[in-house]
């Protein structure tokens, strides 16, 4: 099959993922979940409509983003057509390529997707039948989807081969020993990648022509995850690490035999000892779950949890420390920071080494991991300055940057920013700085929380004023507008009840603008060729339009008794 026809399939799938973020109200979640085996090792399912006012906000930005990517693909394809036309007899092929290119690009808009049967209310899921990936989407009109594929094939040098299974026809093309299948069953489209040698019975299961005896619709596992972790029904996902590991070490299901043969992986090569120990390692983080925790016209909240074994989770939960201001969205251009108790980290690491020495790995494949305990002990034996163990964290809050031009690599003319270093004995850190800098020594900072003017030549180029302030447990430095007040405010900021390990928040629109401006840089590519202005402009526009969906983004990482919890909020644009 022509290369562009393959590209078209990926365009449809990617655009559907970008656009179809809610479910058909006329169909229920079980209509999708009945095809997903309960023993799937991974799933990403959208099972409830997002509110109309949320989709009303998304659609214009999605349309603009698709339009920008359309221009990127137009340029890429035009280059290929110029090269093709220059070859002997290539003019006719170039003309055919142009026709098919136009048909593919017609899909890259909200209207184009709707005309291809992918409606605003498209219900969808990506899941594994064994390890094999399956993308299933509920179409608004299966006939429209088929018609779109037929239009693409009419412009291609040749059509995709077809085959029939249990009275149902499907299209496919082969990539070495793997087969990409595109099928439409009534109003469902299925795209999957399977071994070309897959048996008919196995293929019928993957395509959903043979429904699993035990499906997620019956077990309600996604609903159980939602209830356990407070996820909404709009989007829920999980990755079963233990099940995936078992597929490679023993494949007890037998579902992955053909695939493992293609990648030349033989589970039989693992001894019983190795299988047991790999299973134990997978049990450290047995499952990853994610989903929306809040949905409204103002924001989308989501959470990712890496579930951890109880003892590992309990040990890691001791690592975060108290850092003033760390956690909340500070509302500026960008804020980021982290907390860490070095003594707790050392204790956790020692406990892990003790466990590995008490019950050493005997599997030959884990010999290097077991040998690392020796290096670990040597590292712990190295002396560290006491000030290291006093460290508790860091927070930077950049409220404004003026005069910076990423495209021309022009540095900023001014920066408004504040930095905070949390320490058990902050005075010791200042004393160290005073030994290296006469300017710091002259400040005579005392832990009273009062800001003092900081005259450092290094800061003069980016800020008219800089101030520093000291408390018993933190040092802050602020430059730019309101630097004096900001330096003091950093020290007196609230400490979150549940201290995050890491935190980041930023102005999403300005962030994407920075990325877009960076794309406009006239620097040469790795091949030594300069990217044309039209291409750089299209990339910039794609970034900027992506940022039109959101005002702000914030992410916090917590270590809890459940594991690693990553909570994020995307504040939607007006």
Alpha-carbon distance 28 to 216, whole Å? 13
Which pLDDT score is estimated for 454? 79
Terminal-residue alpha carbon distance, the chain: 45
**Residue 155, H or E segment:** helix 142-155
Among 19-28, 271-280, 287-296, 358-367, the minimum mean pLDDT is found in 19-28
Q: Give the CA diameter of the chain.
A: 87
Candidates 477, 501, 500; CA nearest to 488 is 477
Please state the rounded mean pLDDT for residues 490-516: 92
456 contacts 466 by C-beta, under 8 angstroms? yes
Percent with pLDDT over 90 in the chain:
54
Whether the per-residue pLDDT at 286 is higher than 60: the answer is yes
**CA 359, chain centre distance (Å):** 35
Candidates 171, 213, 164; CA nearest to 34 is 213
Tokens standing for residue 9: 């399939």
Span 94-143, pLDDT tens digits: 787 778 778 888 888 888 888 888 877 778 899 999 999 999 998 888 89
Whether the per-residue pLDDT at 314 is higher than 60: the answer is yes
Please state the rounded mean pLDDT for residues 503-517: 89
70 contacts 310 by C-beta, under 8 angstroms? no
Enumerate residues 6+ apart whose C-beta is below 8 A from 69.
Answer: 108, 538, 542
Which residue stretches of 182-287 are H helix?
A: 200-207, 216-219, 221-229, 241-249, 257-262, 272-282
Whether the per-residue pLDDT at 560 is higher than 70: the answer is yes
Span 37-92, pLDDT tens digits: 999 999 999 888 788 888 888 888 888 888 888 888 887 777 777 887 888 777 88
Strands 452-453 and 466-470 come out as: antiparallel
Please state the rounded mean pLDDT for residues 472-480: 92
Residue 526's pLDDT band (cuts 50, 70, 90): low
Mean of all residue pLDDT scores within the chain: 87
Percent with pLDDT over 70 in the chain:
90
Which pLDDT score is estimated for 272? 93
Whether the per-residue pLDDT at 33 is higher than 50: the answer is yes
DSSP state of 86: T
Which pLDDT score is estimated for 392? 96
Which pLDDT score is estimated for 409? 64
Residue appearing with tokens 């979940």: 33
Please state the rounded mean pLDDT for residues 300-321: 97
CB-based contacts of 276-280 (< 8 A; 24+ apart in sequence) = 277/361, 277/362, 277/363, 277/366, 278/245, 278/249, 278/363, 278/365, 278/366, 279/242, 279/245, 279/246, 279/249
Whether the per-residue pLDDT at 209 is higher than 70: the answer is yes
CA dihedral (296, 298, 288, 11) positive or negative: positive
Helical pair 52-85 and 533-547, crossing angle rounded to 10 deg? 170
Residue 465's pLDDT band (cuts 50, 70, 90): confident
Span 407-461, pLDDT tens digits: 566 666 778 999 999 999 888 878 877 787 777 777 788 899 999 987 766 666 6
Residue 529's pLDDT band (cuts 50, 70, 90): low
Span 337-351, pLDDT tens digits: 999 999 999 999 999
Alpha-carbon distance 24 to 17, whole Å? 15
Helical pair 52-85 and 90-105, crossing angle rounded to 10 deg? 180
Tell me which range, 19-28, 91-100, 231-240, is most confidently predicted by mean pLDDT: 231-240
Alpha-carbon distance 537 to 172, whole Å? 36
Enumerate residues 6+ apart whose C-beta is below 8 A from 80.
Answer: 97
Which pLDDT score is estimated for 523? 54
Residue 7's pLDDT band (cuts 50, 70, 90): very low
Residue 218's pLDDT band (cuts 50, 70, 90): very high
Residue appearing with tokens 């002396």: 383
Which pLDDT score is estimated for 458? 62
541 contacts 68 by C-beta, under 8 angstroms? yes
Backbone angles phi, psi at 463, to 5 degrees: -155, 140
Beta bridge partners of 172: 181
**Residue 91, H or E segment:** helix 90-105
């Amino acid at each position: 099959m022509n290369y562009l026809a393959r590209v078209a399939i990926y365009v449809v799938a990617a655009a559907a993922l970008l656009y179809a973020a809610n479910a058909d109200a006329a169909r229920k979640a079980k209509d999708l979940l009945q095809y997903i085996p309960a023993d799937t090792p991974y799933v990403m399912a959208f099972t409830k409509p997002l509110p109309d006012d949320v989709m009303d906000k998304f659609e214009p930005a999605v349309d603009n983003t698709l339009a920008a990517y359309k221009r990127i693909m137009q340029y890429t394809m035009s280059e290929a057509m110029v090269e093709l036309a220059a070859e002997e007899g290539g003019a006719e092929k170039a003309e055919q390529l142009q026709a098919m290119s136009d048909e593919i690009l017609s899909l890259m808009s909200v209207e184009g997707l709707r005309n291809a049967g992918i409606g605003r209310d498209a219900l969808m899921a990506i899941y594994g039948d064994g390890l094999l990936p399956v993308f299933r989407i509920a179409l608004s009109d299966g006939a429209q989807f088929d018609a779109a594929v037929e239009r693409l094939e009419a412009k291609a040098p040749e059509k995709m081969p077809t085959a029939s299974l249990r009275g149902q026809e499907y299209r496919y093309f082969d990539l070495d020993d793997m087969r990409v299948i595109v099928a439409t069953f009534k109003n469902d489209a299925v795209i999957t990648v399977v071994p070309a040698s897959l048996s008919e019975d196995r293929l019928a299961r993957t395509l959903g022509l043979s429904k699993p005896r035990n499906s997620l619709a019956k077990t309600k596992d996604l609903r159980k995850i939602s209830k356990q972790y407070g996820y909404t029904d709009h989007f829920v996902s999980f990755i079963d690490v233990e099940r995936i590991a078992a597929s490679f070490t023993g494949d007890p299901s037998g579902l992955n035999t053909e695939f493992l043969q293609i990648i030349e992986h033989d589970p039989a090569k693992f001894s019983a000892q190795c299988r047991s120990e790999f299973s134990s390692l997978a049990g450290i983080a047995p499952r990853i779950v994610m989903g929306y925790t809040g949905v409204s016209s103002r924001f989308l909240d989501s959470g990712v949890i890496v579930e951890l074994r109880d003892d590992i989770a309990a040990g890691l939960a001791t690592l975060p420390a108290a850092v003033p201001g760390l956690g909340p969205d500070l509302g500026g251009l960008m804020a980021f920071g982290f907390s860490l108790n070095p003594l707790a980290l050392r204790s956790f690491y020692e406990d892990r080494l003790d466990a590995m020495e008490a019950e050493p790995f005997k599997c030959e494949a884990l010999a290097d991991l077991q040998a690392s305990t020796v290096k670990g002990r040597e590292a712990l034996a190295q002396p560290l300055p006491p000030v290291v163990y006093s460290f508790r964290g860091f927070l930077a809050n950049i409220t404004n940057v003026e005069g910076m031009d990423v495209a021309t690599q022009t540095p900023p003319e001014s920066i408004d920013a504040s930095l905070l270093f949390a320490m058990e004995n902050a005075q010791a850190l200042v004393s160290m700085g005073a030994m290296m800098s006469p300017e710091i020594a002259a400040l005579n900072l005392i832990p009273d929380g009062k800001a003092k003017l900081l005259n450092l030549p290094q800061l003069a180029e980016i800020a008219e004023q800089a101030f520093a302030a000291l408390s018993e447990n933190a040092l802050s430095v602020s430059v730019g507008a309101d630097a004096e007040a900001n330096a003091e405010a950093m020290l007196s900021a609230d400490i979150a009840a549940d201290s995050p390990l890491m935190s980041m928040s930023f102005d999403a629109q300005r962030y994407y603008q920075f990325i877009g401006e960076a794309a406009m840089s006239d620097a040469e590519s790795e091949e030594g060729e300069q990217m044309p202005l039209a291409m750089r402009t299209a990339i910039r526009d794609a970034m900027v339009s992506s940022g039109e969906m959101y005002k702000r983004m914030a992410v916090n990482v917590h270590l809890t008794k459940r594991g690693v919890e990553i909570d994020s909020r995307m504040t939607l644009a007006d």
